Amino acid sequence: MEDGRALANMRSKMIRLACTGLYVSGALALLRWCAKRMMPAAHGAAGAVFPFVMKRRAPSLQILTYHRVNDEHDPFFPATPVDVFEKQMAYVARRHHVCALDEAVERLRLGDLPDHAVAITFDDGYRDNYLHAFPVVKSLSLPMTIFLATDAIGTGRTLWHDRVFSAFRDTAAPAIRGFGPAFDGASLRTVRERIGVMGQVLASLRQVHDDERNRRITELCRALEVRERVEDPELMLTWDDVKRMRGHGVSFGSHTASHPILSRLSRQETVAEIERSCAAMERHLGERPVLFAYPNGTKADFTDMTKDVLKASGFRCAVTTEFGVNEPGADRFELKRGRPWEEHLPTFAFKLSWYRLMSSHAA
């Protein structure tokens, strides 16, 4: 195990070194040039064909996903450090064409995107988006979109996954007891162990319906001997924060009301979640949202029925957390996104262009 970690560390150091070399030597500009003009020549089952690349027909769209930006260095609530976010935004402002998401999606449809188009998005609606990310994007005049889980906005209520993060951060229990045979006895002595068990618990909680999930989280807190943090007045945005950001290039989309896993809900429950979220945004902002982000966002977390409900509710597009770059012809209700990937700027810059070069056109 330790050997595996040492190897991974070594590999990551080598990649950073290589990316730094590309970055400082100016060779990254060549990669950017290629990403602008070329794409892989893959043809169905035949796979890649010589000469392996073909001329790009139209620019593609990369959508970045952030959640939290702060310097708390809390391993249970991962966040992008403020200085890293500043450097990443300064880089994309300098080297990419940052578009507002709704404009970018429309221009993708029309095949009219600028080269190196990027859109910046945030999920959930954490207060640090206003405190730390907003000043950065405002100073650079960059547009961004924040997807709000509206039950938590201005109420002090916490989202279900944050209740799980808090429980594992706050526990002093040496092992988990009374949470079912799959977890009982798992050691919680180190931060690494707690994070490992937390990941497994989160995965199991995504498999069940909302009501069952809430019941299980209460059981989890009992098993970890901690108080369930159903409220945290500082964690999420208030509607005043939201209004202060509006008009400065920040747009807002829906991320549902309570952040359920939509594929677990009936049509009636899906409509109710989405309508409650739209109604809250309309009440506070005076207009219904047209942009949507699926909670958790993998293919397993939404269905064709979810997409039908969104279309019927007047949404123009929906973003997933499926990794990738969006080519012209992409399904507007299954837009792919990428993480900020790396805190090390040259590696971030390299991956931004590398993933664009390696993306293939939609079928």
Residues found near Zn ion in the complex (CB under 5 A): 123-124, 295
Structure tokens at 95: 């080297």
Under DSSP, the state recorded for 79 is -
Looking at the Cβ atoms of 160 and 168, the one nearer to Zn ion is 160
Looking at the Cβ atoms of 57 and 299, the one nearer to Zn ion is 299
- 118 and 144 in contact (C-beta within 8 Å)? no
Q: How far is residue 106's CA from residue 109's CA, in Å, rounded to a whole number?
A: 5
Q: How far is the CB of 294 from Zn ion (least distance, A)?
A: 8
Looking at the Cβ atoms of 66 and 354, the one nearer to Zn ion is 66
Q: How far is the CB of 137 from Zn ion (least distance, A)?
A: 19
Cβ neighbours of residue 301 closer than 8 Å, sequence gap 6 or more: 206, 261, 262, 263, 294, 295
**Which amino acid, 317?**
C
Looking at the Cβ atoms of 289 and 295, the one nearer to Zn ion is 295
Q: How far is the CB of 161 from Zn ion (least distance, A)?
A: 8
Q: How far is the CB of 271 from Zn ion (least distance, A)?
A: 20
- 182 and 144 in contact (C-beta within 8 Å)? no
Indicate left, alpha or beta for 96 from its phi (over 0: left) and psi (-120 to 50: alpha): beta
Q: How far is residue 189's CA from residue 271's CA, in Å, rounded to a whole number?
A: 43
Looking at the Cβ atoms of 197 and 293, the one nearer to Zn ion is 293
Q: How far is the CB of 87 from Zn ion (least distance, A)?
A: 25
Residue at shortest CB range from Zn ion:
123
Counting every residue written for the chain, the total comes to 363
